[in-house]
Each structure stands twice: as C-alpha cells, then as structure tokens.
Amino acid sequence: MAKSNTKAGSLRAVFPLLLLFGPALILIFISTRGCEHKFKQLDDYGVIPTYSLKDANGKVYTNKSFDNEIVLYTTIQPSCPDSCGITIWHLDQLIYQTLRENKKKLHHVKLVSILTDGNGNPDQRIKDVQFMLKDRVEGFDPSIWIILAGDAKSIFNMKHNGQSLLQEDKKYFGGNGFQELMLLSDKKNHLRMVLPGKTEGTIRTMRDHMALLEKEYDIKAYKLKKSKEK
C-alpha cells in the first residue's frame, strides 16, 4: 500500500507538467543521420529570464556566461542529500557521471545548481554544498557541476499555456514547486524541456532529452559541413 501511495504522489506531482509540456514528453525519434527525416526536435518554450548569480569566489554568472552551451538548471539545498528538492544521487549517477566520463565530447554541457534554503529563498552556503558533493560524488568537478547563489526564482519565472513554473503548494518541497524542477536550455538560452527531478525515471528521461538536444546540433553541423562540400 505504501508503494502505491508513493507512485500516486509522484503522478500527481508530474501531472501539471504533462499538461504544460506534454507534447515534448512523447517524442519518438531515430538518432541516425540516415533517418534524419524522422528526427523530431524538442519544442522551444522561449528565452530563459535574465539572471545574475555568483559562485563561491564571487564570480558573477549571467545568461551570457553560458552562450553556446547546453545547461541543465536545478536547485540544491545545504540539507542535501538527506532532504532535497532534487534526488541528488540519481542526478549524479544518471547525468553528472555521463558529463564527467565524456568531458572532452560534452565540454559544452553544464549542470548548474542554484542554492536555496529549502523554502525557495537564496542561500550563501556554497562551500558547504561543494564539500558535500566532493564527499558524495565520484570525481566531483566544479567546472562541470557549477554551484551558484542568488535568486533561483529569477530563472524559473516562466509560464506556458497560462501556467507558471513558480507554483506554490504544500505538496512540493518547501512549498515551492520550482525547487523540484529541472530546466534544460539550449545554446541560445532557450528553454527546451522541463521535468521534475524527484524520481529516477524523470531524471533518466531528462538525460534522454539532453541527448536529443545534442543530436539536434550534430545534425545541424552535419548539414552545414555537407553544404560547404558542395
């Protein structure tokens, strides 16, 4: 019975996102260039809002800091890994380790986690979080998994189909739905996918969508190369 309640709770949390981003969640594609006529791109939900965040050394990061890079945005809390908006272990195993093990090929892909106090407010304890990640995450590399402080809501302040990502409800971590979300932005700072990061399944799905976005750029590069050869 406990497992059934857990599954039902997860479905209730995911359902609003299915309404917002449902079409992109059911993409079916073949990732070979020979079948590129069947390739389906991720939808474009507009530009990520302007933001200004800082790392542990005071370096300022803005939208322009990630020009020509694919970025996965999440939140992170000093209470992790025991109490987090995102499931840190699965984020590590399914996404971070993929980026780390393929650093040369995926050097342009970053995982950016914005620090909150658990209630959605800014928190400055970056070094504490970095210490936790170094202790828990194999080969933690702060150049791949970037921890920043500032107003996380400024990034998640987006709407689609009349629905805001800044939903508030007791069912969410700290009462703020955005703390449970992962945002995938492309090289032009456009939002391409939103998924909750509370389960292994949704984090795995986000990894697949990151690969799909990567394939989009591979196809563009391939077409450009072919056009130059003509």
Residues 96-134 have pLDDT tens digits of: 999 999 999 999 999 999 999 999 999 999 999 999 999
228 sits in which H/E element: helix 200-229
Among residues 45, 37, 74, which one has the least CA distance to residue 160?
Answer: 45
- pLDDT for residue 25: 45
Sheet of 60-62, strand order:
60-62, 52-54, 145-149, 109-115, 70-76, 181-185, 191-196
pTM here is: 0.84
Burial grade of 17 (CB within 10 A; 0-12, 13-18, 19 or more): buried
List the beta strands (DSSP E) in the chain.
Answer: 52-54, 60-62, 70-76, 109-115, 145-149, 159-160, 163-164, 181-185, 191-196
175 Cβ neighbours under 8 A, 6+ residues apart: 119, 120, 168, 169
- pLDDT for residue 23: 44
| Structure-derived torsion over alpha carbons of residues 119, 120, 124, 126, reported in degrees to the nearest 10 | 100
Place 171 in a pLDDT band, splitting at 50, 70 and 90.
very high
- pLDDT, one tens digit per residue, over 22-80 is 444 444 333 333 444 466 789 999 999 999 999 999 999 999 999 999 999 999 999 99
> What does the pLDDT average to over 179-185?
97
- pLDDT for residue 3: 41
Query: Taking 80 as the threshold, does the pLDDT of residue 21 lie above it?
Result: no
19-33, 56-70, 80-94, 139-153: least confident range: 19-33
Place 226 in a pLDDT band, splitting at 50, 70 and 90.
confident
CA distance 86 to 136: 15
Q: What fold does the segment set 2-229 form as a domain?
A: Glutaredoxin (3.40.30)
CA distance 223 to 229: 10
- pLDDT for residue 24: 45
